[in-house]
Amino acid sequence: MYVIGIVHPSLQADWDNQLADIVNNSFRRSCWSLALCWMIFACVHGYGGPVNWFLSLRVWKFLARISYAIYLFHSLVQLTTASAAVAPVYFSVKTLFASFVTDLVYTVAWAMIACIAVEEPVFTLQRIFLHDAFKSQPRLKENKIKPASGAEGDEIKDIEKLNRML
């Protein structure tokens, strides 16, 4: 609705509604983040349907890890390649494209090495050592305290209060 009502008309050549432009520019990012929050909330609570299925595919886990590693390494690679230049670099499309491709290849290579050499062993150790911590523990409500035989009336009332609290 938003795209049909605001965005499409505002892209036309004869558009001249400053109030709609102000409202659009003011609330666009807030509405987008609220829509994303609602989608995440719906997926976490089981109302995502096909969106949840699609976003839960295993390929996204790998892409998330590699993209984060690329984010971590890209500035180091760019700094290294820029520092290694022995002659001034003049702008042209060929040099810019060559610089982009080499930086991309080096960054992805370092990111893959980091994912394989660092992340996977850490996740394996985490699964080994924390395996028991993620098993479900019995609930406290199931373990009710029973009064001992021959207990006094006041003690029984205290134990019943404890059982209700659990």
Q: What is the mean pLDDT of residues 18-23?
A: 81
- pTM for this prediction: 0.56
Instruction: Look up residue 12 and give its two tokens.
Output: 């036309």
Helices 93-114 and 58-83 sit at what angle, rounded to 10 degrees?
130
**Residue 106 predicted with pLDDT over 90:** yes
21-78 pLDDT tens trace: 788 888 889 999 999 999 999 999 988 889 999 988 988 988 998 999 999 999 999 9
- The predicted pLDDT at position 24 comes to 81
More confident residue, 140 or 115: 115
